Amino acid sequence: MSDIHEEKIKELEEKANEIRQTVIKMLTEAGSGHTAGSLGMADIFMAFYFHILNHNPKNPDWEERDRLILSNGHIAPILYATMAHAGYFPLKETMTLRKFGARLQGHPERERLPGIETTSGPLGSGLSQAAGIAYGARMDDKKFRTYCLMSDGEQDAGNIWEGVMFVGKNKLSNLTAIIDRNNIQINGMTEDVMPLEPLKEKYEAFNWHIMEVDGHNIKEFIDAIDMAKAIYEKPTVIIARTIPGKGIKEIEFDYKWHGKPPSKEEAKKFLNELRTLGGKIESEHQ
């Protein structure tokens, strides 16, 4: 298990709260975009960019960097916000989200913004992209790790399972997949639209190692990533249970916020709630 200390956990939790605020501002300025999933994945993105990844924001093409593949590209706001806070580009640029000619489009584009590994948009393609990167790394005896973030709704896509079979067959232990198990998709709850369970057993059937974690418990997630590094005989998938809209009580678990941005009035209320939450994080660690 990781030896991450309490002060570092507090720092990451506070930063995740800041990033949620940035996401709200971005979506409000853009007038479009995906709120629920972006807020729900803030803790995981914070753990990656501020603790887990071997990367260099000042040298984003560094050959030995870990690769982070975002398959569910519609939650680009949380990716962009986290990258900006990590130093990949100026924070003020986050306010250009979805604007004509901007680098921060509704879905990430590989050649538009340094630090973006793949272009994502069509759901289901990310795991196969990550599989190719991980397989190539093994052929070239490279030591970097590949991580693939997926939504639970995109497990409906057949291409995902082609990737699952390929990765399991080739025992790509240098690849770790993370499923955002928030139980919503654009037109309802996942188990109503297209039931996914038993999800764990499906991955096990294709020779994957499975872990299930609380996606808002940063230490638990980091410990799971560390454990995945110690598993050499098969790939790992981490099913991270998250709350869509995390941090804003009135929109948590509401699938209608999957692709809905806040109005200016809603944004004011949401930001006040997140600032209050930030104060609670501070007091809990004192």
* Cα torsion angle, 96, 97, 99, 100, sign: positive
CA distance 168 to 165: 5
Cα angle 222, 171, 204; round to 5? 70
Half-sphere exposure of 283 (CA within 13 A, CB side): 6
How much is the pLDDT for 272? Answer: 96
Give me the phi and psi of 180, to 5 degrees please: -80, 95
Residues of the chain scoring pLDDT < 50? none
For 91, the token pair is 């924070």
How much is the pLDDT for 121? Answer: 79
Q: What is the pLDDT of residues 43-83, one digit of tens each?
A: 999 999 999 999 999 999 999 999 999 999 999 999 999 99
How much is the pLDDT for 2? Answer: 62
Instruction: Give SS3 for 286.
Output: coil
> Domains in the chain, ordered, with CATH?
6-284 (3.40.50.970)
pTM listed for this prediction: 0.96
Residues 155/193, Cβ–Cβ less than 8 Å: no
Proportion of the chain above pLDDT 90, given as a percent: 93
How much is the pLDDT for 277? Answer: 85
How much is the pLDDT for 286? Answer: 58
E strand or H helix that includes residue 212: strand 209-214
